[in-house]
Amino acid sequence: MSEETEKGPPPPPRLRASKGAPWRIDPGRRLKWSSAEFIAKNAVDIRQIGDPVLHVASKKPRLSRAELETLASRMFASMIAARGIGIAAPQIGVPLRVAILDVDEAGLVAIDPKIEWVSEEIEETSEGCLSVRGLYGMLERPVAARLAAVDVTGKRFVAEGEEFGAQCMIHETEHLQGILYVDRLKSRADLHPVEADEEESQRETA
C-alpha cells in the first residue's frame, strides 16, 4: 500500500510558479548540488547578523547565465549545509538581488524579485533565519503573497505562496533590502532560543 493510499494525496505546494515556466532547481540539479562532495567544495558559512552585507540593500545583478547558475549552485549548497529552505545572496556575502525559494522543493531562483501583492489577512507565526542562528521570533505575516522576478535565463515569471510559502517570499525579498526579520520585532526581547527538540521544525528557516 502506498503512502498516498494510507494518508491521502499530498497537499498542494505552498509555493509555486503561477505564470511562466521558469528555470528552476530540477531533480537533477538538486541531486548534484546537495551531494556531500558538491557541498564540501561549494558551500560557505552563512553570514550572521551584524555582518555589514546583511544590513544594506543589494544591487541588481549584471551577470551572465553561467555566472548566475554558478552563484545559484553555491547558494543552494550553502542552504542545504545549513538546513534551510530559502536563502538570499547576501547571506553568502554576495550583495546582489538573487534569492532561492525552496519551500516544498519549489526550486525557484528569483533574480531581482519584487513582492507585487500581499493578502490583507495576516497571522502570527514563528520565524527563524539562517543568519540569526539558534533563535526564533513571533511576528505577523500575510497569509498569501505574489512575487514577480526573472529567472537565470532572463525570463520573467510570477510566483504565488500561501502560509509558509508567502512567509518565505517576503523573508527573502526583505533580505535583499537589508532587512532581517528581527528588525520587524517590537523588541529583541521577543527572540527566543530554539530548544533541542524543536531543532528539526526550525529547519524551515531562510
Q: What is the pLDDT of residue 194?
A: 82
Segments making up each domain of the chain, as ranges: 12-203
Q: What is the pLDDT of residue 165?
A: 97
Q: What is the pLDDT of residue 192?
A: 84
Lowest average pLDDT, out of 95-104, 148-157, 185-194, 197-206, goes to 197-206
Question: Which of these is catalytic: 172, 174, 198, 200?
Answer: 172
> What mean pLDDT is predicted for residues 9-28?
93
pTM of this prediction?
0.90
Q: Is pLDDT of 2 > 80?
A: no
Q: Is pLDDT of 196 > 60?
A: no
Mean pLDDT of the chain: 91
Q: What is the pLDDT of residue 9?
A: 72
Q: Are 162 and 123 in contact (CB under 8 A)?
A: no
**200 confidence band (pLDDT: 50, 70, 90):** very low
* Whether domain 12-203 has CATH 3.40.50.300: no
User: Is there a catalytic annotation at residue 172?
Assistant: yes
